[in-house]
Amino acid sequence: MTRISSPSLRAIVPTAISTLIFALAGSARADPDDHVTLGAGVGAIPAFQGSDGSRVVPIPIIDVEWGRFFIRLSDGIGVNAIDTPHFQAGAGLTWMPGYRGRDVPDGIGALSDSFGGRAFVSGELGGVMATVSVVHALFGGDFEGTVASAQVSYALRLLPRLVLSPGVGASWADGTYMQRYFGVNADQAAASGLPLYRSSAGIKDVSARLAANYQLTDSIGFVGVVAFAHYQDNVSDSPFVESRLQSTRVLGLTCTF
């Protein structure tokens, strides 16, 4: 099931594949130093983690780095406390997307978006990039709890202007986050008719992606990403989760200044 919808950050940046937009923006960089990359694209995005439906939405592409300061759609706003050619570590504020009430069974209700504090370390060697990050819900919206993610990707230049970046990842969440997102409490069970469900801490999902960047000029490029997320039992056992496997597809045009 695919339907056209107006843009929403909760659809644009699903946490199960939070590396998607980073891969899309990162693969578009013409210069690893100070840069501003802006663009626009369109994507088929899951309605929520575990949904079997998707929405077609416009997607802004944002990747700004100036000195130690950065803005990226998936990573948020932050600072590299350590910034060397092959290693970065820092912290910032990022978005934690929830879901709309209309996308889940009646009685479950919406989970409003929140802001979370993010800490990360990232290293690169021989074209292989690895990132480990931890996000903890801080304020705004309905989120609680903590999510930790790890991703590894490799940049493969097939042609002078074409780069492919395959990657894999996994995320872990604590019991508070899992229950808030996937659980069904007594009030929700009574309103929806679904059984009570209490999710537990553990590996939430494993993922794989392939990002491609073709540079038309030194500053303008096409980007495309295909990503898959596979949810573990503590997610798929939720009575309103519809699918263990989700896909996301994005095409976009970028300009780097």
Query: Which residues have CB under 8 Å from 72's CB, separation 6+?
Result: 21, 22, 25, 62, 63, 64
pLDDT at residue 192 greater than cutoff 50: yes
Q: Quick one: pLDDT at residue 15?
A: 36
- If you average pLDDT over residues 10-18, what whole number do you get? 39
Helix (H) or strand (E) holding 248: strand 245-256
Report the alpha-carbon distance of residue 213 to residue 196 in Å, rounded.
Answer: 45
Least confident of 8-12, 130-134, 215-219, 234-238: 8-12
pLDDT at 220 exceeding the cut of 90 = yes
pTM for the complete prediction? Answer: 0.85
Label residue 127 by pLDDT band (50, 70, 90). Answer: confident
How far apart are the C-alpha atoms of 138 and 147, rounded to whole Å? 12
Note the pLDDT of residue 210. Answer: 95
Q: CA torsion, points 2, 11, 38, 254, in degrees to nearest 10?
A: -30
Mean pLDDT for all residues in the chain:
87
Report which secondary-structure segment, H or E, holds 226.
Answer: strand 220-231
Q: What is the pLDDT of residues 91-114, one digit of tens each?
A: 999 999 999 999 999 999 999 999
Mean pLDDT of 153-164: 94
pLDDT band at 32 (very low <50, low <70, confident <90, very high): low
* Mean pLDDT, residues 131-143: 95
Distance CA 162, CA 27 (A): 10
Domains of the chain, each with CATH number or no CATH: 2-256 (2.40.160.40)
The DSSP letter of residue 143 is -
The number of beta carbons lying within 10 Å of the beta carbon of residue 257 is 11
Contact 38, 61 (CB under 8 A): yes
Percent of the chain exceeding pLDDT 70 equals 88
Give residue 132's identity as a one-letter amino acid code: V
Would you state the pLDDT for residue 26?
45
> Measured on CA atoms in the order 143, 133, 183, 185, is the torsion positive or negative?
negative
Q: What is the pLDDT of residues 193-208, one digit of tens each?
A: 999 999 999 999 999 9
